[in-house]
Homo-oligomer: A and B are copies of this chain.
C-alpha cells in the first residue's frame, strides 16, 4: 500500500466513494508528473490523455487527494494554487529562484526546532508551518541563461 495511487483507492473504498476511470487517470498523472503542479497544468496533461475530462473533475479530485492526506495545497504567491504529493514523513519547505523559478525542496532540523521553541515562547503549540525562501541561484547569479527569460512556473 506504499503506492500513493493504491492508497487513494484504499481511501476511496473505505469512504463509500467510487473509483472511477477519471479519478484513476487524474491521480495517476498527478503522482507521475513533476511536483508543484497547478490545477491548470494538471488539467492540460490530463486533457491530453482524455479529451472528455472536465476541469471541475480535476478540481474535485485534487481536493479529494488533500482530504485523503495524499496531497497538499501550496501557494507561492501566484494567482493559482499548486499541489504537491505528500510522501510519508518527508516534510520540507521551498527555496525558489527569483530569476529562473527553480524550486528546490529543503529541510533544516535546526529551523524546525527553533520554530517549535519560538511558538512555545508565545504560548502556542505548533501545528504546522509554511516557509518559502526566495533568492537567486548560482546559475542565474553568474549571468547563466539556460532557459529563456522570465521566471519559469514553479
Contacts and interface: CB of A to CB of B under 8 A. Distances in A.
A102 to B, nearest CB: 9
Given A74-B154, A118-B108, A141-B125, A132 B135 contact: no
Given A72-B154, A104-B122, A154-B73, A127 B111 contact: no
Copies of this chain in its oligomeric complex:
2
B131 A130 contact: yes
A104 B121 CA distance: 12
Contacts of A106: 118, 122
Interface of A: 66, 72-75, 77, 95, 97-98, 104, 106, 108, 110-111, 114-115, 118-119, 122-139, 141, 151-154
